[in-house]
């Protein structure tokens, strides 16, 4: 009994809380009628909120400590980096739940599993944020991904949703194979899966002399690259983001990227730190390829969801600059992810306002003259798009500024130059939507459905984007304090 | 390898006996086939249609659920080897594991996934 | 030549033969049955390598459950399915090339001395003292407590996935039945 309780469960307390909430949602749903199920959304909000409170309290307690708290024989760690990432995940989860109920009710998809899976997926991210072992890393990624495969197909029997689910699942399983193979090879080369022991291993000290170790790193990068949609492993992204139900897409865009980034940071710096001369140049080149490919792809899209999918690939490229910079770079990655998440959730929130269960504002043409019908929605969409493009004084500008200065101080000037050129390129496709909304004549009355929940999420996102743009240093000071 | 010799012997013996019984029947029994006797045996029903036809997807759902519970059972085997050493610790550990799966079982049951609608 | 080597030879030939038979059999059901034979041979190879637990898993999960799934997929498609694949130009030469590359890589991996790894906690000594299943159980339930519990969450999510994606909701069924019944009257 004591031994079971002595495992330091506080380390996974937020994840436990989410899993419990998810279980309750899952089981209570079985005895609810269809029209009562909206209550599950409010209950899930409590789940995300409660997990958020736990994490903030843990953060306040852990902040001053010299050595971080570990649990489960060193498999999990409770440090500020992990806790800050978890705050981000729970915020995204909270906002994503706000976006969902209206959409689900209109399409008769209001089912408890939706919220349960969202909670489970976030629990996976929460585990990932503290992972200190390749096995926990793997399991965290699986708990994060498998609910998303299901959620992508939630609008079944709509064909594009089924297609998205199947594509995501098959390619995701393929990527999981890479991840597992890489884990096995690293274990073979070092005899351990713990990050601490990996860091201290002989193979990590001289990676170039150990073929197995090198192959292991390469395979792990492929697997994680898939999860953050890093080129050339991003091919699934547009199709999946387009086909999945819009609230799910919003969650995936904002949260999985953050989950993948924290996994990458943990693995590269905590596990493979000494071998950085191997992965650093590789990842640098891939970052440049990713942002360029994403932006060029986005230029060619007519569907707004696909455009945002390609834009998310480009943003993964920018984020890799922060990951490569280390130290200050992590702060930049965190702040950028926060801004990026708020902006994307906001943009998808607007898309969700412009649908009525039958028509969806997915084609870029459906934004023509939107400002005349719904000036508020058009204004919000413009703010979010400008922030994605990195225009001052929106938050997006400040996020890019942080990332790029971190990159320059880490000696990655060439990569920052590529990123700046890419940002310029990206303005074209973001601005195209704004031009359509304000300067072109409308073709038809746009679909619209009022929802207080979506409006609330939009308000949070918009206030966040504006405030972070106006008072950027506050959040940085809060994080680094 | 020694413990497996017994298994191998058992395997050979049981196969041998089965083959032998079938051979004895066909060697010594009278054989007077009629069309009705040669029909496939379906628990006394007259066979309808072909055996090789498309099956409804419900079977697939059941099979998937079977795999999941099968994997759960896999974890019980090694647990049975060490549960004495683990004591209460092991018990709580396995209860936690099973609690989640029981929740899943309740879910599957209530959803009617085990019913033939 | 030791008895072990003879057994290995038999199993190796069986597994390769059943794998080839699976690929080349015209009838999909026969293919699946050959695959079961292959699973059994591979399970025995695990026994030979001193891993009876893995052998049991191989039989229980693969030969038992996965095979059932494969059979169902075959039956879902119907007895004489139209070709499920389109002919992709250049696929065969590419497949041959990659197959040869893989073979070369595997041969190199076996021969190159650089690929010798570091033994982990499951050393030969531990295995001999406890027996493989017990050693595995101890590691799994003590050191890997958390991963073990997380696995149950994964299984639960799998169940939800099966129900969400394959089970029709009541209102969907009603919607499907309604027009049919209306037409009959």
Residue C117 lies inside a defined structural domain of this protein:
no
Separation in Å, CA C90 to CA C20, C82, C96, C99, C164 = 22, 21, 10, 14, 39
C144 contacts B89 by C-beta, under 8 angstroms? no
Q: Which of C146, C163, C170, C174 to mutate to test the interface with A (most CBs of A within 10 A)?
A: C146
Residue-wise pLDDT tens digits, A95-132: 999 999 999 988 888 899 999 999 999 999 999 999 99
C61, C141, C167: residue with CB nearest B90: C141
For chain A, list the contacting chains (3+ Cβ pairs, <8 Å). Answer: B, C
**pLDDT at position A363, please?**
85
- Decide which of C156 and C31 is more confident: C156
A66 contacts A56 by C-beta, under 8 angstroms? no
Which chain B residue is nearest to residue C74, measuring alpha carbons? B54
Quote the minimal CA–CA distance from C39 to chain B in Å. Answer: 16
Which of C36, C55, C81 delimits the end of a domain? C81
Residue-wise pLDDT tens digits, A345-372: 999 999 999 888 777 778 888 888 888 8
Structure tokens at C35: 């695959």
Identify the helix (H) or strand (E) that includes residue B104. Answer: helix B88-110
Q: Is the pLDDT of residue C82 over 60?
A: no
- C100 at B interface, C-beta within 8 A: no
**pLDDT at position B96, please?**
92
For chain B, list the contacting chains (3+ Cβ pairs, <8 Å). Answer: A, C
Which of C31, C60, C81 delimits the end of a domain? C81
Other C-beta atoms within 10 Å of A108: how many? 13
Q: Which of C126, C144, C150 to mutate to test the interface with A (most CBs of A within 10 A)?
A: C150
φ, ψ (nearest 5 deg) of residue B26: -75, -25
Mean pLDDT over each residue of chain A, to the nearest integer? 91
> How far, in Å, CA of A35 to CA of A217, rounded?
50
Residue-wise pLDDT tens digits, A212-248: 899 999 999 999 999 999 988 999 999 999 999 999 9
Residue-wise pLDDT tens digits, A254-298: 888 999 999 999 999 999 988 888 899 999 999 999 999 999 999
Q: Which domain holds residue C1?
A: 1-81
Q: Which A positions 51-80 lie with beta carbon below 8 A of chain C?
A: 72-73, 75-76
- A4 at B interface, C-beta within 8 A: yes
**pLDDT at position C183, please?**
40
Which chain C residue is nearest to residue A208, measuring alpha carbons? C114
Average pLDDT of the residues in C88-92: 81
Residues recorded for chain A: 481
Tell me what ipTM this predicted complex has: 0.93
Average pLDDT of the residues in A436-465: 88
Predicted confidence band of residue B43 (pLDDT cuts 50, 70, 90): confident
Residue C123 lies inside a defined structural domain of this protein:
no
Number of domains in chain C: 2
8 Å CB contact of B88 and A26? no
Q: Which A positions 7-66 lie with beta carbon below 8 A of chain B?
A: 23, 26-27, 30-31
Q: How many CB pairs under 8 A join A and B?
A: 20
Q: Is the pLDDT of residue A43 over 70?
A: yes
A23 to chain B: which residues are within 8 Å by CB?
A: 100, 103
Predicted confidence band of residue C181 (pLDDT cuts 50, 70, 90): very low
Identify the helix (H) or strand (E) that includes residue A78. Answer: strand A76-78
Residue-wise pLDDT tens digits, B57-91: 778 888 888 899 989 989 998 999 888 888 888 89
C117 to chain A: which residues are within 8 Å by CB?
A: 187-191, 212
A189 to chain C: which residues are within 8 Å by CB?
A: 117-118
Average pLDDT of the residues in B96-105: 94
Ordered domains of chain B (ranges, CATH): 2-110 (1.20.58.1610)
A3, A4, A27: residue with CB nearest B106: A27
- C171 at B interface, C-beta within 8 A: no
Annotated domain spans of chain A: 7-480
Percent of chain A with pLDDT over 70: 99
Predicted confidence band of residue A404 (pLDDT cuts 50, 70, 90): very high
Average pLDDT of the residues in C96-109: 90
Residue C20 lies inside a defined structural domain of this protein:
yes
CATH at residue C14 = 1.20.120.1200
**pLDDT at position A58, please?**
93
* B43: region left, alpha or beta (phi > 0 left; psi from -120 to 50 alpha): left
What residue has token string 């099968």?
B70
Q: Is the pLDDT of residue C150 over 60?
A: yes
C66-80 core/surface letters (b: 16 or more CB in 10 A; e: else) = bbbbbbbebbeeeee
Residue C98 lies inside a defined structural domain of this protein:
no
Percent of chain C with pLDDT over 90: 33
Closest to A154 measured CA to CA, from A245, A256, A38, A238: A245
Q: Is the pLDDT of residue A77 over 80?
A: yes
8 Å CB contact of B53 and C79? yes
Structure tokens at C50: 């001193």
> How far, in Å, CA of A382 to CA of A465, rounded?
12
Residue-wise pLDDT tens digits, A413-448: 999 999 999 999 999 999 999 999 998 888 778 888
**pLDDT at position A148, please?**
96
Residue C131 lies inside a defined structural domain of this protein:
no
Distance of CA C79 to the CA centre of its chain: 23
Q: Which C positions 139-178 lie with beta carbon below 8 A of chain A?
A: 143-147, 150-151, 153-154, 156-158, 160-161, 163-165, 169, 171-172
Q: Which of C141, C153, C171 to mutate to test the interface with A (most CBs of A within 10 A)?
A: C153
Other C-beta atoms within 10 Å of C8: how many? 15
């Amino acid at each position: 009994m004591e031994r079971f309780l002595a495992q330091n469960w506080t380390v996974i307390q937020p994840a436990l809380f989410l899993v419990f909430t998810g279980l309750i949602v899952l089981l209570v749903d079985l005895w609810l009628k269809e029209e009562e199920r909206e209550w599950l959304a409010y209950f899930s909000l409590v789940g995300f909120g409660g997990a958020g409170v736990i994490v903030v309290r843990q953060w306040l307690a852990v902040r001053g400590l010299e050595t971080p708290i570990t649990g489960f024989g060193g498999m999990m760690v409770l440090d500020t980096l992990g806790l800050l990432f978890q705050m981000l995940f729970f915020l995204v989860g909270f906002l994503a739940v706000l976006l969902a109920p209206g959409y689900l009710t209109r399409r008769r998809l209001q089912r408890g599993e939706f919220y349960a899976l969202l909670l489970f997926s976030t629990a996976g991210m929460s585990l990932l944020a503290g992972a200190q072992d390749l096995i926990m890393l793997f399991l965290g990624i699986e708990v994060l991904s498998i609910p998303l495969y299901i959620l992508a197909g939630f609008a079944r029997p709509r064909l594009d949703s089924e297609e998205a689910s199947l594509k995501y699942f098959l390619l995701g399983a393929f990527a999981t194979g890479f991840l597992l193979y890489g884990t096995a090879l690293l274990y073979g080369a070092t005899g351990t899966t713990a990050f601490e022991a990996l860091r201290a291993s002989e193979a990590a000290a001289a990676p170039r002399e150990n073929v197995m170790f090198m192959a292991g790193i390469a395979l792990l990068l492929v697997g994680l690259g898939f999860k953050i949609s890093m080129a050339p492993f991003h091919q699934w992204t547009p199709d999946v983001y387009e086909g999945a139900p819009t609230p799910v897409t919003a969650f995936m865009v904002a949260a999985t990227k953050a989950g993948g980034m924290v996994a990458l940071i943990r693995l590269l710096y905590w596990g493979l730190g000494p071998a950085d001369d191997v992965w650093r140049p590789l990842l640098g080149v891939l970052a440049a390829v990713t942002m360029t490919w994403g932006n060029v792809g986005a230029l060619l899209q007519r569907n707004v969801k696909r455009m945002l999918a390609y834009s998310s690939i480009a943003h993964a490229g920018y984020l890799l600059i922060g990951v490569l910079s280390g130290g200050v770079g992590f702060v930049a990655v965190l702040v950028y992810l926060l801004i990026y998440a708020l902006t994307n959730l906001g943009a998808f929130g607007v898309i969700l306002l412009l649908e009525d269960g039958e028509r969806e504002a997915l084609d870029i043409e459906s934004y023509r003259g939107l400002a005349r019908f719904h000036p508020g929605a058009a204004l919000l969409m413009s703010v979010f798009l400008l922030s994605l493009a990195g225009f001052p004084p929106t938050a997006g500008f400040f996020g890019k500024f942080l990332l790029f200065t971190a990159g320059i101080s880490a000696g990655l000037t060439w990569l920052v130059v590529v990123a700046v050129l890419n940002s310029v390129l990206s303005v074209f496709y973001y601005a195209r939507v704004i031009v359509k909304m304000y300067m072109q004549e409308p073709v038809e009355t746009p679909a619209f459905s009022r929802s207080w929940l979506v409006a609330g999420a939009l308000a949070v996102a918009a206030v966040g984007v504006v405030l972070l743009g106006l008072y950027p240093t506050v959040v940085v000071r809060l994080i680094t304090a | 390898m020694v413990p497996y010799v017994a298994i191998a012997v058992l395997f050979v013996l049981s196969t041998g006996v089965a083959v032998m019984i079938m051979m004895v029947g066909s060697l010594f029994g009278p054989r007077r086939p009629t069309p009705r006797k040669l029909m496939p045996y379906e628990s006394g029903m007259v066979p309808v249609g072909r055996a090789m036809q498309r099956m409804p997807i419900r079977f697939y759902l059941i099979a998937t659920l079977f795999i999941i519970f099968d994997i759960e059972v896999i974890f019980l085997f090694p647990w049975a080897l060490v549960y004495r050493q683990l004591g209460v610790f092991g018990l709580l550990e396995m209860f936690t594991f099973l609690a989640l799966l029981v929740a899943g079982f309740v879910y599957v049951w209530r959803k009617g996934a085990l019913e033939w609608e | 030549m030791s008895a072990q080597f003879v057994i290995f030879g038999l199993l190796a030939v069986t597994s390769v033969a059943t794998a080839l038979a699976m690929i080349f059999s015209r009838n999909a059901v026969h293919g699946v049955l050959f695959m079961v034979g292959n699973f059994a041979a591979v399970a025995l190879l695990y026994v030979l390598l001193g891993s009876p637990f893995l052998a049991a898993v191989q039989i229980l999960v693969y030969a038992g459950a996965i095979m059932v799934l494969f059979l169902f997929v075959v039956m879902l498609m119907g007895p004489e399915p139209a070709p499920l694949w389109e002919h992709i130009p250049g696929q065969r030469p590419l497949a041959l090339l990659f197959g040869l590359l893989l073979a070369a890589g595997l041969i190199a991996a076996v021969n190159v001395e650089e690929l010798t790894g570091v033994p982990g906690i499951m050393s030969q000594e531990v295995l001999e003292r406890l027996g493989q299943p017990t050693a595995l159980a101890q590691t799994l339930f003590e050191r890997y407590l958390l991963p073990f519990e997380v696995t149950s969450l994964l299984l639960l999510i799998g169940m939800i996935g099966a129900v969400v994606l394959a089970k029709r909701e009541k209102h969907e069924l009603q919607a499907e039945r309604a027009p049919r019944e209306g037409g009959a009257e």
